[in-house]
Amino acid sequence: MLIRSLGSGFVHPLASEITPEKVWQERRHWMSQAASGAIGVTGVMAGLGGPAWAAEAPADKLTPFKDATGYNNFYEFGTDKADPARNAHTLVTRPWSVMVDGLVKKPLQFSLDELQKIAPQEERVYRLRCVEGWSMVLPWRGFSLAELIRRVEPLGSAKYVEFQSLADPKTMPFVGSRLLDWPYVEGLRLDEALNPLTLLAFGMYGQPLTNQNGAPVRLVVPWKYGFKSAKSLVRIRFTEKQPATAWNKAAPEEYGFYSNVNPEVDHPRWSQATERRLGEDTLFAKKRKTLMFNGYADQVASLYLGMDLRRNF
The residues, ordered by sequence, that sit 6+ positions from 5 with a Cβ below 8 Å of its Cβ are 120, 121, 122
- Rounded Cα distance between 264 and 291, Å, is 10
Average pLDDT (183-210) is 98
Name 265's bridge partners. Answer: none
- pTM greater than 0.75: yes
- For residue 109, the 8-state DSSP code is E
Counting every residue written for the chain, the total comes to 313
Q: List the domain boundaries for the chain.
A: 3-304
Spatial neighbors of 25 by CB under 8 A, at least 6 apart, are none
In 145-213, which ranges are E strands?
Answer: 160-165, 185-189, 199-204, 207-208
Domain 3-304 CATH class label: alpha beta
Mean pLDDT of the chain: 85
Q: Kindly list the distances between the CA atom of residue 102 and the CA atoms of 76, 96, 153, 189, in Å, as whole numbers in the listed order.
A: 25, 20, 11, 14
pLDDT tens digits, 231-246: 999 999 999 999 999 9
> How far is 243 from 235, CA to CA, in rounded Å?
13
What's the average model confidence in pLDDT over 144-162? 98
What distance in Å separates the CA atoms of residue 151 and residue 7, rounded to the nearest whole number?
A: 18
* Cα 124 from Cα 45, distance rounded (Å): 10
**pLDDT classification of 59: cutoffs 50, 70, 90:** low
Q: Is 310 exposed, middle or buried (0-12, 13-18, 19+ CB in 10 A)?
A: exposed
Per-residue model confidence (pLDDT) at position 282: 66
**Residue closest to 187 by CA, chosen among 144, 149, 153, 238:** 238
Higher pLDDT, 105 or 17: 105
CA–CA distances in Å: residue 123 to residues 189, 206, 239: 25, 8, 30
**Per-residue pLDDT reduced to its tens digit, 274-299:** 999 998 866 677 889 999 999 999 99
**pLDDT of 123 strictly over 80:** yes
Would you state the pLDDT for residue 285?
76
Q: Compute the distance between CA of residue 259 and CA of residue 254 in angstroms, rounded to an integer.
A: 10
- What's the distance, CA 233 to chain centroid? 11
Mean pLDDT on 78-105: 97
DSSP string, 237-273: EEESSPP--HHHHH-TTT--SS-B--TTS-BTTB--S
Q: Give dist(CA 102, CA 107) in Å, integer.
A: 7
